[in-house]
Amino acid sequence: MCRKKLIEELFGKQGSSFGVYPLRIVWIKSAVPTTAPPQVLISVSKRTFKRAVDRNRLKRLIREAYRLNKYRLVEQPAGHQVALLGIIFTGKEKSPLALVEKKLISAIQRLIGTPAAASAPPPAP
């Protein structure tokens, strides 16, 4: 997501948010259910991670975790209500992919409103 207007909407009064440490999820509800993937913004604080190498590594981890698990959001039978999605890394230390993926899965489950008790394996291509 690159448009300044969309980013302002996401972080303005229209956006809802919740935290799943070390991630903070900010999202805007769409008018009608859709099966298209939402526009995604990924952010890592420059204040917490001074080196660009560390910030870029964390953004790559979050991007990969989202890529592997976006099917949980997109393949809902009735569609999903997420138009814009912001994923912000709020942790103070670097996290491995397994932790980031686990927290992102629980955030997606919370977005679609189903319990995160049993996570299903991805569908076969």
Q: Which residues face 23 on adjacent strands?
A: 20, 89
Return the structure tokens found at 43: 């952010």
Token pair of 92 as six digits: 């103070």
Number of domains the chain contains: 1
Domain limits for position 43: 12-113
β pairing state of 23-34 and 16-20 = antiparallel
Q: What is the CATH number of the domain that holds 61?
A: 3.30.230.10
For 67-118, write each residue's pLDDT tens digit. Answer: 999 999 999 888 888 999 999 999 999 999 999 999 999 999 999 886 544 4
User: What are the pLDDT digits (tens) for 42-72?
Assistant: 999 999 999 999 999 999 999 999 999 999 9
25: its two tokens? 């999820």
The answer to whether residue 75 sits within a structural domain is yes
Residue 119 lies in a domain: no
Q: Are 104 and 42 contacting, i.e. CB atoms less than 8 angstroms apart?
A: no
Q: Does the residue 121 lie in any domain?
A: no
pTM: 0.86
Identify whether 25 is part of a domain.
yes
